[in-house]
A = this chain, B = another copy of it.
Amino acid sequence: MRAHNLALVLHTAANSTYPPSRAAVAAATGLTRATVSALVDDLVAGGLLVEVDPPPRTGAGRPAAGLALTSAGPAGLGLEINVDYLAACVVDLTGAVRHRQVEHADQRPVEQAQALATLGRLAAAARLAAEADGLIVAGATLAVPGLVADGLVRVAPNLGWQDVDAAAALLAVPELADLPITVDNEANLAALGELRASFSPGDGARHSFLYVSGEIGIGAGLVIDGELYRGVRGWSGEIGHVTVYPDGRPCRCGARGCLEQYAGQEALARDEQLAAAALGIALSAVVNLLDVPVIVLGGAYAPIFGTLREGIEAELRRRVLTAGLAPVALRPAALGPDAAMRGAADTIIQAVRDDPAAWLRRFT
């Protein structure tokens, strides 16, 4: 119960437009001022909240002390390995990016162990820089363009990987040896990154959208009511292999007419309007099945959003049963190529936000 209320208070403080007073948090949560005071004391002592200058006065009464997330406490390390770059970033509890480094280089010819070693150096440098800034890196998450199960990269076709234990490789770097490291799919994490980026403080609405990542392959991350849906075995989001033209072009997966053959980066270079139509058909299926109100286009789609938009929307209007009742909103990714890395870092700080009690226990 205390753990739950700690999280409640922390979230209220995080999602307020201005740093709220203890009394404001109490009003928002339904708890008593006394209870909130006690909880806030713990959160301040544990280095998650700080008192800041009060918000502008509104009337009579003792001035309030504003409560805000600390920018000197726990931080998340976000890592990404993709076909043409390696990247690392550190995000603090407030969601601010405190460190960011991207190394462009084609990873396809690079040996797998080599690539992971380079990423490890990048990650170690990021951690040291962050800790010199007074941050405490609480964990790391790695985004990979492939299927992940049980922490292993089962298959990443465009990297040529199969059954790779990327977390173990990173843990072999001495500076990272004590970090909890998890691995997840790039589209899933990018969806989480977009979720955080599109979240405006004070807005209590729970977002639902499909993030579509157009790279060499096409992946998708589904966010429902503010939560990522991973599928039973973590293999959801393979929109690239949704059938668009049942007897169409053969795909490297063995089937025919997969979306990837019509809207992957190669196809995109050939014919953007064909790509838009194919995307529209596949996305219509998603909306009919899942009633998703928003679709976010990321990866290679983001920069050419304007070109694709009309072609996709035409198919959505035609093929979505409820299009007449409420249209589907289409928008480009806000974070561009950083989405996955940012989402990866977010998972770490989100874990602290969701269970501050666990963080406080670290000091006992």
Contact = CB atoms under 8 A, between A and B. Distances in A.
Contacts of A235: 291, 321-322, 325
In the complex, the count of this chain's copies comes to 2
Interface string A245-288: 11000000111101000000000000000000000011011101
A197 B276 CA distance: 43
Contacts of A322: 147, 233, 235, 238
Interface stretch (A9-17, A171-179, A224-232): A224-232
A312 to B, nearest CB: 13
Interface residues of A, number: 48
A1 interface: yes
Contacts of A258: 319
A236 B290 contact: yes
A56 to B, nearest CB: 36
Contacts of A230: 291
A232 B289 contact: no
Contact of A292 (B232, B281, B282): B232
Nearest to A220: B289
B243 A319 contact: yes
11 contacts: A229-B290, A232-B292, A233-B293, A233-B326, A238-B322, A241-B319, A242-B289, A245-B246, A254-B318, A282-B285, A286-B289
Given A147-B322, A224-B229, A239-B289, 4 more contacts: A222-B290, A231-B292, A235-B291, A238-B321
